[in-house]
Amino acid sequence: MKTCTKCNENKEFSYFGKAKLGKDGLRSICRKCHNTETTKRNRENPEKATAYGRKYRDEKKEKISLQRAVHTLENKERLSLYGAEYRKENPGKVNANTAKYKAAKIQATPPWLTEDHFKEMQAIYIEAVRLTKETGIPHEVDHIVPLRGKEVRGLHVPWNLQILTEEENRKKSRKLI
């Protein structure tokens, strides 16, 4: 048993983090008190916390990469189930992210778009999924000015999106109407 110097509670050794310089190899304050102090310090100075985190990640890139790879291998089935469940529960978000990826791939997403613009686009994709569920008629998000049209190329921006039925979207294809 060991007494925390912060909360003065007597706790088992497992409640204390490791410390190389500690007499017994453990911190003088318990994990709960340490976490409370760290959270408070990070909230008071978020820039310093961000810089520290960035520096740590830069210095430990290989270690972090290895940990992630091991975690992915050890939890492959669980992560796969989680991903499938997320895609099933959030089809609008998944569709928006897929479209964003495809648009970026063909350089149709301008770099000056804000996070609010991406949220607007996500809302349009979510609305298309809602309409499909509500009416039973498949709805899709279409670019008014096609991203890869023959005469003109549009941008992947909120004001260039519209919701059409699947049938209308197939008829329109890559045409500017």
Q: Could you say which DSSP state residue 165 is in?
A: E
The widest CA-to-CA distance across the chain, in whole angstroms, is 77
pLDDT of residue 149: 75
**Whole-prediction pTM:** 0.50
For 148, residues 6+ apart whose C-beta sits below 8 A from its C-beta are 106, 174
- Mean pLDDT across the chain: 91
What digits encode the pLDDT tens for the residues 46-81? 999 999 999 999 999 999 999 999 999 999 999 999
At residue 27, the 3 state secondary structure works out as strand
- Phi and psi at 41, nearest 5°, equal -65, -40
Kindly state the average pLDDT of the residues 86-109.
88
Kindly state the average pLDDT of the residues 133-162.
89
Q: Where are the beta strands (DSSP E) in the chain?
A: 2-3, 10-11, 16-18, 26-30, 139-143, 161-165
Share of the chain above pLDDT 70, in %: 99
Domain regions of the chain by residue span: 2-74, 91-172
- Cα–Cα distance for residue pair 140/132, rounded to 1 Å: 8
- Cα–Cα distance for residue pair 127/139, rounded to 1 Å: 9
Assign 89 a pLDDT band (cuts: 50, 70, 90).
very high
Cβ proximity of 93 and 126 under 8 Å: yes
First to last CA, the chain: 77
Q: Is pLDDT at 171 greater than 80 in this prediction?
A: yes
